[in-house]
Structures are given as C-alpha cells and as structure tokens.
C-alpha cells in the first residue's frame, strides 16, 4: 500500500492527463470504432489513475507546475494544478470512465453513432483536462473552444431534425460564448500585456468592468445560466444518454470553473457587491424557473435536463455568498462541492435514465410504472442520485447545501436561504414525480426489455460516489484547500 | 473514548445490512427473508440489552468520525438515547413478527422489509446521535425510508398520502436544517450534553437563540405532529397496519418528540430554556395539541383515523412533560415516550387484525366483534384503558407524573388539560369498546377470512397480546429497576444533578 502511495506521489502525472485521451481521439478517428472500443478502457483507467495520482500529489506536495516540453512561461506553456483543478480532473476522469463503460454497452460495435462517439468523447475529455490545467487566458480560450466543438459534435450524434436543430442552437450559443470571452481576453492583453493568470490583476475602472462583463457573460452562456439556458434542455435532453451525462455533469462545469478562476484571481480587486448579487439573483432565477419547468416536463430526459438548469443556479450563489469575509470560505467550498456532487449525481441520473428508456422503450414519465420491479437497481440508483440533488443527507449535495447555508447565515444574507430552501423542496417535487412510479403497477401496454447490466451498473457506481462525497467530505475539502483563494480555517 | 465505539455501530449495522441484503433477495425466497428479519431483530435486541446494561453501570459508548472540519458524526449511548433505542428494539421485534404475518402472500415484500429495516436503522441512529448534525442526518433518512412504506400499496390514495407526508416532513426538515446551521454558526459544534451548552453564550445572542429555538421546534414539530403541523399524520394511516404501528409508536412521531426532548434538555438546557421564557409557549402548544387531537378523534368513524388523531394528542404528552420545569414533569414526559409506544402499537396491531381478518375498517362496523375476536379485543381494551389512564396501567403512571410535575412547576392549569384529555380519551375509546363487547353483531362481517386454529393468524395475534401484557406490566411493576419509569428516573437524575 505504502509503495503504491509513494509511487503515485512521485510521478508527474500532468502529461498523462493530456497525451492518452488526445492520442485515443486521433487513433479512434483514423482507425475506426473497433480499435477505439478496444483502447477505450485502458485509456480511461489510465486517466483515473493519473487523476488520482495528481490529487494525492497536490494534497501532499502542494500545487503542481509542469512546463510543457521544458519551456516555462512566458515563452512556453506552463500547466498548473491546485486542489480545485485536481478535484475537477478527478471528477472528469471518474465520470469519463463510467460513461466509457456504459457506452461500450450502449453503442453496439456496428452502431453508426459509435463511430463518431469515441473520437469526440476522447477529444472532449482531453480538452477538458487541458482546460483545468491551463494557467493563461489564451490557452484557456483554446481549450474552451475545443471542448465546445467536441460537445456540439456529440449532440449531433442523434439523428433527426430535432437533434440537428438542438446541435445548431448549441453551436451558436457556444461560439457566441467563446467569442465574448475572447473579446475580454483581447482587452486584458491590450491593457496588461500579459495573459498568464498568475500575476495578473485588474484595477477597478471602467475598462475592467467591461472586461468582467464580457467574459462573465460569455461563460454564463456556456454554463447555461438563467436566462441564457435556452440551448441546454434540447441539447442535453435530446442527445444519447452517455452524451447527456458528459455534457450535464462535466462540460458546463468546465466553463463554471473558468468563471471561478477569473472572479477569484483576476477580477477580485475590481469586483463590486452589486455584480456578485446580480449573479446570485440569476442563480436564484435558475433554481426557481428551472425547477418549475422540470415539474412540467413529460419526458424523463427533459426533466433531468431542466434539473440541470436549476442546479446550475446553486453554483452561482457562490458569488454573492463569497463576497463577505465571514462565510467566504464556506461559500467557496460549498459551491465547488456542489459542482462535484452534481456532476456525479447528474451523470448517474442521465445514465440510468438511458437504461430506463431502453427498458421501457419510451421516456414518458407517466407511463414508467412498474420500473421498480423491472429495474430495481436502476430505480435505486435514480433515488440515490435524487437524494444528492435534493441536498438530503447523506450525500455530497447535502454537504454542499450545508456549506452554502452556513455561508448565507454567517454573512447575514438570509434571502439566499429562502431560495435554497424553496429550491430543495421543488427539486424533491420534480424528482419524486419519477420516484413514485416505482410504486405503481406496470401499464398494460408496456413490454419491458432487459438492458445490459453495464448500463445500470456504471450508473449505480456513480451514484455511490455522490453518496460517498457526503461521507468523506473531510479529505475532499482538505484537497480543495490546497492553493485556494480563501485559506482562513474554520474553528 | 472509553468503553467501545463498536457497540453503537453494531446496533445500527444489524438492521442496516439486514435491510440491504433483503433488498437484494428475490421476491420468492420468503423463508430466508423472514429468518433474516427475525435474526436481525433478535441480534439487535441482544446488542441493545448489552449496551443497556453497560449504560446502567455508567459505561460510555461513543463512536466519532470527523466528517468536515468542525463537524463530527457522533453516535453516543447515553441514558436518554437508550430509552428510545430499547423501545425501538423491542417493538421492532414484535412489529417484524406482525408484518411477516400481515403481508403474507402480498407482493413487493423484499422492498417493504428492506425499507422497514432502513427505517429502524434511522430511528436507532437518531436516538444515538450525539449532536444535532448527526441527528439531522438520521432524521432525514427516516423521512426517505418511511415514504416507500407509506405508499407501499401503490393506490391513488396511498400516493396522495405519500405526497402530503413528503411535503410536510421535507419542509420541516428544511426548517430544522436552517435552525441547526444557524446554531452551529453561533456556538460551533453543539454536542448533546446534560444541562445544555448554550447558557454561557453572550446574552446579546439570546434573541437569536429564541428564534433558533422556534425554528428547531417547528422543524421537529412536524414529525411530532404538533398542531398545526399535524396534517400529514391522519392521512398517512392509509399505510399497511405494521407501518402505521411503527410510524405512530416508535419511528416518525417519536423522532420528532425525542428531538424536542434533546433540544430542550441537552442543547438549551431546561434551566436556560426557562430563563429564555421558552417553556410556557411550548407547554401551551402541547396542550392545544392534546385537546385538539382528542376532539378530532371523537368524530372519526374510520378506526385507524381515530387512532391517528389519538396519536396526535398522546405524543404531545411527551412534549408537555418536557416543558414542565422540574424533575417530576420530566419523568412524566420521558416515561410516556415508552408508554405511548407500547400502548399505541397494540392498538394499531389490533386494528390491523380486524381489517385483515374481518375487513372491518370503521367503528360503526365493530358491533359485537368482541365475540368473534375476543383475544384481539382484549388486547385492544387493555391498551385503550391504558390510554385513558386507568390505574395501574402504563398511561396512568404517565399522567400521574405529568400532573405532579405541573403542580411542582407552578403550571396548575395543565391539570385541567390532563383532566379534559382523560375525559375525551374515554369519550372516544369507550364507545368503541362498548360496541365491540356489548352490542350485538349486525349482519355478516364485510369479508371474513376462514377461521384457523385461532381467531386469526398466530403471527398477527401474538404481538398485540404481548404488547398488551407489557402495557399492564410497565404500570404494575413500575418500581422495578428495568421499568421505563425507573429508567426515566435515571435519565432525570443525570439531567438535573450535574
């Protein structure tokens, strides 16, 4: 055990998080789906090992810097990983592995969609890893753009006019988002003459306000913050289940991560309270409006997609909650914890929704009665993921909610407490619309097919991680503290 | 940490793992499931007995795990915890036996018994919780694990009841959570300690502490069915009888009442709560609930609904006792925690027997049923007399101590509440007994099951007979060292004498 531990800490894992997925993507594209399937598991397992090793290394040795090809900044590209980045990388690797296992069963070897799925998914993972490791604004732009293009390609996998329209809408939103971000980058460069995140800091003036507005708007579009969420439900709800899981759990978190980095490193001196409160207000709107729409949905996957719109809202409560000294660290921890636990819970939920669709042959919620008997583990998985999304113990979602509420109370911002309470109850209301089906008899006209065991199994494992985040919060938070902007210790 | 951390963990594990294994069992393996259920219930009882003896001797059992910086997950077996733990362990065994008989041949039993075990795990956990954080975790787990039991039958009525139940309990949980986090922000990690830990906080915070108290009691009051937060309880009685028995006797309502006891005695401390003038309002709310529940029970024709309103009323005796300053009132409230459980579970078992055997659901159908099912009705009668407070049964002991406690604490008006409630108890129970024993049978029973060796299945008959015998025994042998009364004395001694 100690040998393994020492080895994990000793290796510089950063290149291993970039090379293998990008190589996999290229090979999959060149040599076809058969080889892509063969390579998928080794590459994804290697990814998880590398992400775990990096997390351990960051925890024990502090933030890690890797000069790509031996060339440091400002000439070469310097990669950087602190606790936050390590956690996001680990989430990407773990969910990536589960989705990979799922997809091997979901796309049969001769499925046309599989031909494109493997290169695009591998490329997506590589791009996200690169984003988390990047430390200057231009590289962040490049990775953001690559990620967006791969994601749009994945959405277009579903055939049919609706899927194509969703993909097109997503493409436009993604391009608009990165364009706004790029404008901001250009203004920063013109003003400061440097793009490396470390050492940059904006002064409070009109130009800075413009930069903040542009970049925040661009990333808010990509994160699907209310009222800019229009593109998300059709894209996430219409894509094949493994793609929905990747998009809802991971892709929107990457742009949120970038926003966090910018606000708490680059923008911090130039930010005023109303701006933070405004972002929180949009978050509150997302929670209420997204939940309300989730309540109205008839299709299972659309319900889950609108739930994502609502859950994104909690992420944006971080900004107002972290703007006062008391509670800032709790808010930061809570927001990131929410990103993590939502990632695992939502990936599990989309995957299991795919299995349910497979089993029932349709996704109409009202006619899903009997699934409790036909797919008991699947229903249980859905329930576990729901517990985390509702913020009930024991789950990662509960820890996140606890921390966010703690921050709201400590800083005296009681209005966010009301939003979170109502949001929690609304999420219970829409999730129990599905869960109650477990107790209903099978409709007469429904014939069930047994889905491959891997479909439910991989979703179940992810829901267990969402649960586990609620039990091992101490270690996770210790990792998050490495290199964090708020380092005051809670008593 | 002297003694052992493993005993409280094992007590939880015995039903948790039983539940998880039962989930995985195929529907058809009935024998294995029943054996596993009974084995787990017996094992838990044995573990609890060991722990009870240890706590009696002054042993410490504590399991602690740091979940987040500044927040520990704590299980601790103190005297108060053992009251609910022992009650649940004993009644769980009887309810398991009963449920096996009750659900024989019905579908979805793996699911039922799985959640049943989780529900007991949650009750044990919140009883053993050493701080509000841990308590909350199990409090919510209890909500989630009882929902499937309430909607078990899958009928429209059951699903509506489940929806209402969730609406009430999740809202209560959210309010409770805000209270807990607020308190956490003011006072750090608040552990349950005798006499409470808040009295030495800055007096400037007293206003906030009162608000927090209101939030905590409101959150807990939903499960304790304090008026006006009781709306879910009479509706949730659509659940199968063993579930109602469990919900009303040990699990859900007790979770609320027990939480209130913990908050008053071990978070705020009874003296500090009295200083903040919190006890009188609590006593008033409890009194209103007692009278209101009884009044509503009077007009219910549905037997289980009548029992449900009776629960609304009776559980508030515990809250009332908690709010009476002074050891005697405390004893009255605590002892009723056990007594109400034993009596109410008997009543629900009997109601279930009537429904299962003769398909009787209404009081108006019960004429002459005493001759058809004498044993069941004997048990019912004993429990009903206990509820009314006829000496020497369980309810009498509770009311005696509550009355004395009221006089000692200077709240003489509480005596009037007790008298009124006793009269109302009699008014809604005696007509039922009269109809069952003295009125002639009117026509055939709605749907009679073939008569076996006994008046109904032995699985169904034995549990209420035993709990009815317990109802008499805990009153008759109240002075014995193992009686709930004596245990309540021990708790009170440790609570007041520090």
Measure CB to CB from residue B181 to each of A406, A436, A441 and give the nearest one: A406
Place of tokens 């989430």: A91
Over residues B33-55, the mean pLDDT reads 92
Residue B476 burial by Cβ neighbours in a 10 Å radius (0-12, 13-18, 19+): middle
Asked if B68 lies within 8 A of A474 by C-beta distance, the reply is yes
pLDDT at B24: 87
Chain A residues within an 8 Å CB radius of B178: 405, 409, 417, 421
Which of A108-112, A142-146, A225-229, B143-147 has the least mean pLDDT? A108-112
Looking at the domain assignment, is residue B2 inside a domain? no
| C-alpha closest to that of A482 among A332, A342, A268, A338 | A332
pLDDT band with cut points at 50, 70 and 90 for residue A489: very low
Measure CB to CB from residue A490 to each of B70, B163, B175 and give the nearest one: B70
Over residues A456-477, the mean pLDDT reads 95
pLDDT at B448 over 90: no
User: Distance between CA atoms of A12 and A35, rounded to whole angstroms?
Assistant: 28
Helix (H) or strand (E) holding B156: helix B156-187
The whole-chain average pLDDT of chain A stands at: 91
User: Distance between CA atoms of A346 and A9, rounded to whole angstroms?
Assistant: 30
Nearest residue on chain B to A399, judged by CA atoms? B68
Chain A residues within an 8 Å CB radius of B69: 474, 477, 489-490
| C-alpha closest to that of B47 among B86, B98, B93 | B86
Asked if B181 lies within 8 A of A471 by C-beta distance, the reply is no
Half-sphere exposure of A352 (CA within 13 A, CB side): 31
User: Distance between CA atoms of B176 and B169, rounded to whole angstroms?
Assistant: 10
- How many domains does one find in chain B? 1
Q: What confidence tens digit (pLDDT) does each residue in B319-354 have?
A: 999 999 888 999 999 999 999 999 999 999 999 999
| C-alpha closest to that of B497 among B371, B326, B349, B246 | B326
User: Distance between CA atoms of B491 and B418, rounded to whole angstroms?
Assistant: 24
User: Distance between CA atoms of B337 and B292, rounded to whole angstroms?
Assistant: 20
pLDDT band with cut points at 50, 70 and 90 for residue B135: very high
Asked if B178 lies within 8 A of A417 by C-beta distance, the reply is yes
Looking at the domain assignment, is residue B409 inside a domain? yes
User: Distance between CA atoms of A64 and A9, rounded to whole angstroms?
Assistant: 11
Measure CB to CB from residue A439 to each of B23, B141, B148 and give the nearest one: B148
What b/e sequence results for A369-400 when a residue is b if at least 16 CB atoms lie within 10 Å of its CB, and e otherwise? Answer: bbbbbbbbbbbbbbbbbbbbbbbbbbbbbbbb
Q: What confidence tens digit (pLDDT) does each residue in A299-346 have?
A: 999 999 999 999 999 999 999 999 888 888 999 999 999 999 999 999
User: Distance between CA atoms of A241 and A452, rounded to whole angstroms?
Assistant: 14
| Percent of chain B whose pLDDT exceeds 90 | 65
pLDDT at A490: 38
Chain B interface includes A473 (CB < 8 A): yes
Can you read off the two tokens belonging to residue B322?
Answer: 């908690």
User: Distance between CA atoms of B248 and B340, rounded to whole angstroms?
Assistant: 9
**Could you tell me if A468 and A393 are in contact, meaning their C-beta atoms sit under 8 angstroms apart?**
no
For residue A86, what are the contacts with CB-CB under 8 A and spacing of at least 6?
Answer: A51, A54, A55, A58, A59, A479, A482
Looking at the domain assignment, is residue B152 inside a domain? no
Asked if B111 lies within 8 A of A417 by C-beta distance, the reply is no
Asked if A409 lies within 8 A of B178 by C-beta distance, the reply is yes
Please tell me the pTM assigned to this model.
Answer: 0.94
pLDDT at B175: 96
Q: What confidence tens digit (pLDDT) does each residue in B55-97 have?
A: 888 888 999 999 888 889 999 998 899 999 999 999 999 999 9
Which of A196-200, A434-438, B103-107 is the most confident on average? Answer: A434-438
Could you give the C-alpha distances from B97 to A180, B33, B92, B438, in angstroms and in order? 67, 12, 9, 31
Place of tokens 């915890």: B81
Three-point CA angle A316, A395, A345, nearest 5°: 65
Over residues B136-153, the mean pLDDT reads 93
Place of tokens 């940059």: A200
pLDDT band with cut points at 50, 70 and 90 for residue B3: low
| C-alpha closest to that of B246 among B146, B332, B327 | B146
Chain A residues within an 8 Å CB radius of B141: 393-394
Task: Give the largest Cα separation in chain B, rounded.
Answer: 71
Looking at the domain assignment, is residue B477 inside a domain? yes
Nearest residue on chain B to A391, judged by CA atoms? B174
Chain B interface includes A264 (CB < 8 A): no
pLDDT at A491: 31
User: Distance between CA atoms of B261 and B129, rounded to whole angstroms?
Assistant: 13
Chain A interface includes B111 (CB < 8 A): yes
Q: What confidence tens digit (pLDDT) does each residue in A122-147 have?
A: 999 999 999 999 988 999 999 999 99
**Could you tell me if B182 and A413 are in contact, meaning their C-beta atoms sit under 8 angstroms apart?**
no
Could you give the C-alpha distances from A281 to A227, A284, B472, in angstroms and in order? 11, 5, 61
Can you read off the two tokens belonging to residue B234?
Answer: 């009479």
For residue B62, what are the β-bridge partners?
Answer: B76
For residue B308, give its domain range. 284-498
Can you read off the two tokens belonging to residue A192?
Answer: 């400061």
Q: What confidence tens digit (pLDDT) does each residue in B201-235 have?
A: 888 889 999 999 999 999 999 999 998 999 999 99
User: Distance between CA atoms of B110 and B21, rounded to whole angstroms?
Assistant: 9
Helix (H) or strand (E) holding B71: strand B71-77
Measure CB to CB from residue B184 to each of A406, A417, A428 and give the nearest one: A406
Q: What is the CA radius of gyration of chain B?
A: 21
Nearest residue on chain A to B167, judged by CA atoms? A425
pLDDT at A111: 82
Over residues A403-415, the mean pLDDT reads 93
3-state secondary structure A79-111: EEECHHHHHHHHHHHHHHHHHHHHHHHHCCCCC
- The residue among B242 and A272 whose pLDDT is bigger is B242
User: Distance between CA atoms of B357 and B445, rounded to whole angstroms?
Assistant: 9
Chain B interface includes A366 (CB < 8 A): no
Place of tokens 């026509």: B443
> Rounded to a whole number, what is the distance in Å from the CA of B284 to chain A's nearest CA?
28
Chain A residues within an 8 Å CB radius of B151: 436, 439
For residue A79, what are the β-bridge partners?
Answer: A66, A134
User: Distance between CA atoms of A77 and A133, rounded to whole angstroms?
Assistant: 10
Alpha helices in B409-497 (DSSP H): 413-438, 458-476, 484-496
User: Distance between CA atoms of B46 and B48, rounded to whole angstroms?
Assistant: 5
> Rounded to a whole number, what is the distance in Å from the CA of B20 to chain A's nearest CA?
11
> Any idea what DSSP says for residue B305?
H
Mutating which of A326, A368, A436 best tests the B interface, going by the most B Cβ atoms within 10 A?
A436
User: Distance between CA atoms of B388 and B383, rounded to whole angstroms?
Assistant: 9
Strand, helix or coil at A78?
A: strand
Helix (H) or strand (E) holding A257: helix A252-261
pLDDT band with cut points at 50, 70 and 90 for residue A488: very low
pLDDT band with cut points at 50, 70 and 90 for residue A74: low
- Which residue ranges make up each domain of chain A? 280-491
pLDDT at A94 over 50: yes
Report the 10 Å Cβ neighbour count for B44.
Answer: 27
> Rounded to a whole number, what is the distance in Å from the CA of B89 to chain A's nearest CA?
23
Asked if A439 lies within 8 A of B177 by C-beta distance, the reply is no
Chain A residues within an 8 Å CB radius of B152: 439
Could you give the C-alpha distances from A427 to A288, A340, A354, B175, in angstroms and in order? 9, 18, 20, 16
pLDDT at A487: 58
**Could you tell me if B172 and B222 are in contact, meaning their C-beta atoms sit under 8 angstroms apart?**
yes
DSSP letters spanning B98-116: HHHHHTTT-S-HHHHHHHH
Looking at the domain assignment, is residue B195 inside a domain? no
User: Distance between CA atoms of A294 and A236, rounded to whole angstroms?
Assistant: 13
Looking at the domain assignment, is residue B21 inside a domain? no
> Rounded to a whole number, what is the distance in Å from the CA of A372 to chain B's nearest CA?
9
User: Distance between CA atoms of B108 and A439, rounded to whole angstroms?
Assistant: 9
Chain A residues within an 8 Å CB radius of B154: 439-441
Looking at the domain assignment, is residue B40 inside a domain? no
For residue B287, what are the contacts with CB-CB under 8 A and spacing of at least 6?
Answer: B316, B320, B414, B417
For residue A105, what are the contacts with CB-CB under 8 A and spacing of at least 6?
Answer: A452, A454, A455
pLDDT at B495: 76
pLDDT band with cut points at 50, 70 and 90 for residue B498: low
Q: Among positive and negative, which fits the CA dihedral B205, B210, B215, B216? A: positive
DSSP letters spanning B188-252: SS-B--TT-S-TTS-GGGHHHHHHHHHHHHHHHHHHTT-TTS-THHHHGGGS-HHHHHHHHHTSH
Q: What confidence tens digit (pLDDT) does each residue in A412-447 have?
A: 899 999 999 999 999 999 999 999 988 888 887 778
> Rounded to a whole number, what is the distance in Å from the CA of A473 to chain B's nearest CA?
6
Inter-axis angle of helices B303-323 and B327-358, nearest 10? 170
- B 9-38 near A (Cβ less than 8 A): 23
């Amino acid at each position: 055990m100690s040998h393994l531990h020492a080895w994990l800490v000793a290796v510089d894992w950063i290149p291993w998080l970039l090379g293998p997925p990008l190589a996999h993507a290229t090979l999959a594209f060149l040599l076809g789906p058969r080889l892509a399937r063969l390579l998928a598991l080794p590459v994804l397992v290697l990814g998880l090992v590398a992400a775990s090793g990096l997390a351990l290394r960051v925890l024990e040795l502090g933030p890690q810097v890797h000069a790509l090809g031996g060339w440091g900044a400002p000439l070469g590209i310097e990669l950087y990983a602190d606790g936050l980045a390590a956690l996001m990388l680990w989430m990407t690797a773990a969910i990536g592995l589960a989705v990979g296992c799922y997809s091997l069963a979901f796309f049969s070897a001769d499925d046309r969609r599989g031909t494109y799925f493997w290169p695009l998914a591998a490329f997506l993972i590589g791009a996200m890893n690169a984003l988390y490791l990047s430390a200057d604004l231009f590289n962040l732009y490049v990775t953001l753009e690559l990620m967006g293009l791969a994601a749009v390609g994945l959405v277009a996998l579903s055939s049919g006019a609706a899927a194509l329209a969703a993909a097109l809408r997503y493409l436009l939103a993604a391009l608009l988002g990165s364009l706004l971000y790029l404008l901001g980058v250009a203004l920063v460069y013109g003003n400061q003459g440097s793009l490396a995140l470390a050492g940059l800091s904006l002064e409070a003036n009109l130009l800075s306000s413009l930069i903040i507005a542009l970049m925040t708007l661009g990333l808010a579009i990509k994160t699907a913050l209310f009222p800019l969420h229009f593109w998300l439900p059709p894209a996430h709800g219409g894509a094949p289940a493994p793609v929905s899981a990747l998009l809802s759990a991971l892709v929107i978190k990457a742009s949120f991560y970038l926003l966090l980095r910018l606000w708490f490193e680059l923008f911090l001196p130039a930010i005023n309270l109303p701006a933070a409160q405004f972002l929180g207000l949009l978050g509150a709107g997302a929670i209420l409006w997204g939940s309300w729409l989730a309540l109205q949905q008839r299709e299972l996957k659309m319900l889950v997609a609108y739930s994502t719109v609502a859950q994104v809202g909690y992420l944006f409560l971080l900004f107002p909650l972290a703007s006062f000294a008391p509670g800032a660290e709790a808010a930061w921890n809570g927001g990131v914890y929410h990103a993590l636990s939502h990632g695992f819970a939502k990936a599990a939920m989309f995957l299991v929704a795919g299995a349910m669709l497979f089993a029932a042959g349709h996704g109409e919620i009202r006619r899903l009665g009997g699934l409790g008997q036909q797919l008991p583990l699947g229903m249980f998985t859905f329930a576990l993921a729901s517990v985390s999304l509702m913020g009930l113990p024991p789950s990662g979602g509960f820890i996140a909610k606890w921390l966010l509420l703690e921050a709201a109370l400590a800083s005296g911002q009681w209005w966010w407490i009301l939003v979170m309470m109502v949001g929690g109850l609304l999420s219970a209301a829409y999730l129990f619309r599905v869960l109650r089906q477990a107790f209903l008899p099978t409709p007469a006209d429904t014939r069930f097919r047994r889905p491959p065991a891997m479909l439910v199994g991989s979703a179940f494992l992810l829901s267990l991680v969402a649960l586990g985040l609620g039990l091992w919060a101490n270690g996770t938070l210790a990792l998050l503290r490495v290199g964090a902007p708020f380092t005051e210790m809670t008593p | 940490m002297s003694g052992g951390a493993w005993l409280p963990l094992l007590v939880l594990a015995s039903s948790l793992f039983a539940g998880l294994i039962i989930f995985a069992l195929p529907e058809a393996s009935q024998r294995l499931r029943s054996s596993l259920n009974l084995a787990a219930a017996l094992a838990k009882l044995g573990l609890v007995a060991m722990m009870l003896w240890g706590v009696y001797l002054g042993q410490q059992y504590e399991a602690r795990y740091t979940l987040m910086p500044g927040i520990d997950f704590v299980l601790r077996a103190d005297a108060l915890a053992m009251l609910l733990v022992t009650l649940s362990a004993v009644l769980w065994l009887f309810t398991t036996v009963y449920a096996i008989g009750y659900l024989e041949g019905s579908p979805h039993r793996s699911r039922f018994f799985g959640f049943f075990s989780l529900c007991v795990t949650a009750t044990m956990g919140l009883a053993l919780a050493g701080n509000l954080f841990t308590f909350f975790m199990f409090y919510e787990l209890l909500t989630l694990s009882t929902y499937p039991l309430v909607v078990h039958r899958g009928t429209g009525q059951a699903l509506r009841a489940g929806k209402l139940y969730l609406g009430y309990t999740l809202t209560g949980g959210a309010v409770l959570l805000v209270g807990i986090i607020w308190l956490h922000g003011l006072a750090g990690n608040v552990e349950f300690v005798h006499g409470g830990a808040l009295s030495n906080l800055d007096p400037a915070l007293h206003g906030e502490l009162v608000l927090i108290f209101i939030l905590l009691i409101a959150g807990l009051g939903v499960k304790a069915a304090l008026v006006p937060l009781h709306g879910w309880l009479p509706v949730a009685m659509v659940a199968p009888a063993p579930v109602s028995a469990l919900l009303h006797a040990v699990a859900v309502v007790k979770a609320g009442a027990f939480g209130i006891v913990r908050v008053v005695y071990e978070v705020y401390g009874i003296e500090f709560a009295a200083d903040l003038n919190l006890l009188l309002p609590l006593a008033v709310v409890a009194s209103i609930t007692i009278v209101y529940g009884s009044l509503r029970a009077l007009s219910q024709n549905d037997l289980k609904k009548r029992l449900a309103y009776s629960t609304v009323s009776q559980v508030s005796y515990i809250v009332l006792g908690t709010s009476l300053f002074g050891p005697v009132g405390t004893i009255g409230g605590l002892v009723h925690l056990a007594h109400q459980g034993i009596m109410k579970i008997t009543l629900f078992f009997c109601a279930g027997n009537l429904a299962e055997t003769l398909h009787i659901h209404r009081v108006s159908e019960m004429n002459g049923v005493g001759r058809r099912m004498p044993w069941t009705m004997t048990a019912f009668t004993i429990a009903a007399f206990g509820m009314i407070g006829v000496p020497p049964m369980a309810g009498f002991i509770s009311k005696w101590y509550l009355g004395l406690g009221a006089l000692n604490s200077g709240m003489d008006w509480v005596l009037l509440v007790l008298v009124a409630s006793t009269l109302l108890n009699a008014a809604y129970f005696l007509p039922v007994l009269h109809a069952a024993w003295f009125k002639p049978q009117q026509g055939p029973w709605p749907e009679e099951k073939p008569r076996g060796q006994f008046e109904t299945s032995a699985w169904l008959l034995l549990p209420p007979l035993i709990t009815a015998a317990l109802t008499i025994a805990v009153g008759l042998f109240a002075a014995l060292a193992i009686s709930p009364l004596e245990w309540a004395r021990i708790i009170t001694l440790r609570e007041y004498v520090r």
